[in-house]
Amino acid sequence: MDNRQQQRNRLIIRASAVSVAGNGVLSLAKVVTGFLTGSLAVLGDGIDSAVDILISLMTLFTARVMDRKPDKSYPFGYGRAEATATGILAIAIFFAGLQLLIRSVSGLAGGVDPGIIPSLAIWVTVGSIGGKMGLAWHQYRSGKRANSTMLIANAKNMLSDVVISVGVLVGLLLIRITGIGALDYITSLLVSLWIIRVSLGLYLESSRELMDGVEDTAIYSRIIQIAGAVDCVGEPHRVRARKLGASLIVYLDIEVDGDMTVREAHRVSQQVEDALKEGLDNVYDVIVHVEPKGNREDETFGVCERTL
């Protein structure tokens, strides 16, 4: 593993440790406050922060796994552990939101009035909003520096938590103004729906990488442009790109003069590989297949200039 990858993993570990500590304090404060004041909305907000602790612990574990070198079982390395962990976290978040949804609906259906919520719940929620904004900014900044989808996903989840906490705060203030305690159940219901929505988005994001999809399909035009600019290369085609953690693996076919020697064709393919690694960010590997000019085959997979 090169030094850049080691620095990336260390950055992920540091960011995850900050998230565990910060969310631990916020979650404990909100869960205790929820029990003391009887506010299901504040309790649900605390449960959501507890899920963030799970996310950060999973991130720490995943960073350790990604430190492993490629072996016979995983010759491409352990970069996909990040996408796998994101999918698992999405499922955990979904069930946390579902549990809160059930409790909220049960409270509304039962007609139990929780009463006026004490001021403590309001002040704890205000503090939570400020704390979450700081944590979200730190996670997003670290995720951009490390090019980590996992940290960025965690930052998005924390921004969602800010929206949730603002919604809880508005609900608590309305309860104080109107005296309608049932608004706490309605607020917690909306919070649960938001949590479920976030979990589905994270699951789809992780699934794209696990299914070898790319979010920015403009990468194919860039690959064809770079490869086509290399001397002696004709019609780059059957281009494929797949994510491996923060890195990219590129596959493509190129056409060269059929009278070239194997050595000359290898030199051209090496120039294509070097050009792609220089022209694109975070390229893990490039696999080039060489064909004689004019070769036509029934090629099902990949992208060419005609299909862009």
Return d(Cα 188, Cα 40) in angstroms, integer: 6
Residue 76's CB is within 10 A of a number of other CB atoms, namely 14
> Among 17-21, 91-95, 234-238, which range has the highest average pLDDT?
234-238
Give yes or no: residues 163 and 23 share one domain. Answer: yes
Position 113 scores a pLDDT of 57
pLDDT of 112 strictly over 60 = no
Domain boundary among 193, 210, 227: 210
| Mean pLDDT of the 141-161 span | 78
End-to-end alpha carbon distance in the chain = 35
What is the pLDDT at residue 31? 83
Please tell me whether residues 46 and 172 are part of one structural domain.
yes
Same domain, 165 and 193: yes
- Pair (200, 223) in one structural domain: no
- Which tens digit of pLDDT belongs to each residue from 252-304? 999 999 889 999 999 999 999 999 999 998 788 899 999 998 777 766 677 77
Residues 224 and 187 placed together within one structural domain of the fold = no
**Helix ranges (DSSP H) in the chain:** 3-37, 40-66, 81-110, 119-146, 149-178, 183-210, 219-228, 262-279
The single residue listed with the structure tokens 């491409």 is 76
Could you count the other beta carbons within 10 Å of the beta carbon of residue 181?
Answer: 16
Report which of 139, 122, 121 is spatially closest to residue 23, judged by C-alpha positions: 139
Q: Are 225 and 101 in the same domain?
A: no
pLDDT confidence of residue 76:
79
**Whole-number average pLDDT of the chain:** 81
Q: Which of 277, 282, 285 is nearest to 251 (CA)?
A: 285
Element of type H or E holding 240:
strand 234-244
The answer to whether residues 28 and 34 touch, using CB atoms and an 8 Å cutoff, is no
More confident residue, 109 or 125: 125
**Residue 4: predicted pLDDT:** 67
Q: Which of 161, 179, 210 marks a domain boundary?
A: 210
> Whole domain around residue 201: which residue ranges?
3-210
Which among 15, 24, 31, 231 has a CA at the least distance from the CA of 121?
31
Taken in order 256, 257, 262, 264, the sign of the CA dihedral is negative
Domain match, 203 and 258 both = no
Same domain, 95 and 113: yes
Indicate whether 279 and 145 sit together in one domain. Answer: no
pLDDT tier, 157 (very low <50, low <70, confident <90, very high otherwise) = confident
* CATH code of residue 296: 3.30.70.1350
Domain count, the chain: 2
Tokens 């399909």 identify what position? 217
Q: What is the average per-residue pLDDT within 12-19?
A: 81
CATH label of the domain that carries residue 50: 1.20.1510.10
101/300 Cα distance (integer angstroms) = 45
Does the model's pTM come out above 0.85? no
State whether 84 and 115 are in the same domain: yes
C-alpha to C-alpha distance for 136 and 57, rounded to whole angstroms: 16
Same domain, residue pair 231 and 203? no
Paired residues of 254 in beta bridges = 290
State how beta strands 247-256 and 234-244 pair: antiparallel
Give me the residues paired with residue 250 across strands: 241, 286
User: 85 and 202: one domain?
Assistant: yes
Cα four-point dihedral sign 174, 23, 149, 205:
negative
Of 3-12, 136-145, 291-300, which has the strongest mean pLDDT? 136-145
Amino acid at 102: I
Compare 142 and 51 and report the one with higher pLDDT: 142
